[in-house]
């Protein structure tokens, strides 16, 4: 969808694929209503589906523009319908962190109550709350042959909140770039450009905000530097959290240890992964399936990742990295420091991680899993 184009529907060919772009623009405050039925695109979607007559409709991210009504329109054509859940937006309004008790944030996810009341949703979003949203989404999901959750952790949260017919389908990654080792001279240039030559870099990447653990990462860096004074935090990405990270690092006397290239091209990101000794994923919410963990493993780098969400399904604790509670700053930092101090262990974990990635998380393995779900729905079997 696009809010910039003039025509209601635009068709173009990209890399041999037909791409249809629909125009949609409405006030953000009305999203909880428009996610159920968007009159700006509904008729166009119906006509397009009738024209294409697909055998399979696979939907992603309907909550903003296409709306959950699209599922009903797709089913009306006789197609088999799938929906991939990438996040908690089938039952919530944003990132799902409310299951973590404020009085005991170190609680393990397996012991937490994943049910979310309508009252807590209202408290979260205020006047943007729609009392019909949850019930209407569940109703529209009756038109779906299968909901595919990107992780077992997300599946558990969906089921705890009344979403049924859910199966796990771990996504994959085209990581050929990350698996190609850089030339020594280009890696050396990168290290010198960012003053990392004599340091022990830790990678933190992605959307930079508090729930992703941006401030937590700075606190972890401070704890790590008590044991590894040369440790530095290499931050890839941009967002509201970057300036906050810089301010906190300055207040803690860590300004020179925070290296912030911002957003960089994939080729440069590959050098960043190669330059770092360990990657961290300190998310403070149910982070469904962090891409950073996959990319780091493809680059043969160990990961110290959050105990909340799908990282536990990517990283094998004690074999390809460590799982740690990001609210336990000292415990998380101890795992990072262990890998910085023991290059052989870090390299061993990295090699195991790459093998695990090659076995389970390549794009080819993902496509195989997806085709198995399609075939299973055609025969009525569960996969």
In contact, 358 and 320? CB cutoff 8 Å: no
Q: For residue range 217-255, what is the model confidence (pLDDT) as tens digits?
A: 999 999 999 999 999 999 999 878 899 999 999 999 999
In the chain, domain spans: 31-172+364-379, 177-360
What is the tens place of the pLDDT at every residue in 355-375? Answer: 999 999 999 999 999 999 999
Is the pLDDT at 110 greater than 90, yes or no?
A: no
Cα–Cα distance list, 361 to 171, 292, 370 (Å) = 7, 12, 12
Task: Express each pLDDT in 37-77 by its tens digit.
Answer: 999 999 999 999 999 999 999 999 999 999 999 999 999 99
What's the CATH number for 31-172+364-379?
3.40.50
Local confidence band at 3 (pLDDT 50, 70, 90 cut-offs): low
What integer pLDDT is reported at residue 383 of this predicted model? 43
Q: What is the pLDDT of residue 380?
A: 54
pLDDT tens, residue by residue, 157-190 = 999 999 999 999 999 999 888 888 899 999 999 9
* pLDDT tens string 263-296: 888 889 999 999 999 999 999 999 999 999 999 9
Q: What pLDDT does residue 381 have?
A: 45
Class in CATH terms, 177-360: alpha beta
Does this chain's domain 31-172+364-379 share its CATH topology with 177-360?
yes
Spatial separation of the C-alpha atoms in residues 179 and 195, rounded to whole Å: 24
Burial class (CB in 10 A: 0-12, 13-18, 19+), 256: exposed
Q: Is a pLDDT exceeding 70 seen at residue 78?
A: yes
Arithmetic mean of pLDDT, 113-133? 97
Range 117-137 average pLDDT: 97
């Amino acid at each position: 969808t696009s809010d910039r184009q003039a025509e209601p529907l635009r068709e173009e060919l990209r890399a041999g694929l037909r791409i249809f772009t629909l125009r949609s623009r409405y006030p953000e405050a009305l999203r909880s209503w428009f996610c159920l039925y968007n009159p700006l695109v509904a008729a166009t979607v119906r006509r397009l589906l009738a024209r294409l007559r697909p055998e399979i409709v696979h939907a992603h991210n309907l909550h903003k523009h296409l709306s959950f009504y699209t599922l009903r329109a797709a089913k009306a054509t006789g197609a088999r319908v799938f929906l991939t859940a990438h996040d908690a937006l089938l039952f919530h309004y944003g990132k799902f962190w409310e299951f973590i008790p404020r009085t005991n944030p170190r609680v393990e996810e397996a012991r937490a109550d994943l049910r979310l009341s309508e009252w807590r949703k209202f408290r979260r979003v205020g006047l943007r709350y729609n009392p019909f949203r949850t019930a209407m989404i569940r109703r529209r999901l009756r038109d779906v042959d299968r909901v595919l959750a990107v992780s077992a952790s997300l599946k558990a949260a969906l089921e705890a909140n009344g979403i049924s017919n859910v199966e796990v389908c771990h996504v994959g990654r085209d990581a050929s770039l990350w698996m190609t080792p850089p030339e020594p001279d280009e890696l050396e240039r990168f290290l010198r450009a960012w003053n990392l030559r004599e340091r022990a870099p830790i990678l933190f990447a992605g959307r930079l905000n508090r729930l992703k653990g941006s401030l937590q990462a700075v606190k972890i860096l401070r704890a790590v530097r008590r044991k590894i004074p040369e440790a530095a935090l290499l931050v890839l990405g941009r967002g509201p959290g970057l300036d906050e990270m810089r301010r906190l690092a300055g207040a803690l006397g860590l300004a020179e240890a925070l290296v912030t290239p911002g957003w960089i091209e994939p080729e440069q990101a590959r050098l960043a992964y190669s330059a770092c000794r360990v990657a961290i994923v300190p998310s403070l919410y149910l982070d469904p399936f962090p891409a950073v963990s996959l990319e780091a493993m493809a680059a043969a780098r160990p990961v110290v990742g959050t105990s909340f969400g799908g990282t536990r399904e990517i990283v094998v604790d004690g074999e390809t990295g460590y799982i740690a509670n990001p609210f336990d700053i000292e415990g998380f930092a101890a795992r990072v420091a262990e890998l910085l101090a023991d290059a052989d262990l870090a390299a061993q974990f990295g090699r195991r991680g790459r093998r695990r990635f090659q076995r389970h998380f390549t794009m080819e393995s993902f496509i195989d899993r997806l085709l198995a779900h399609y075939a299973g729905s055609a025969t009525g079997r569960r996969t």
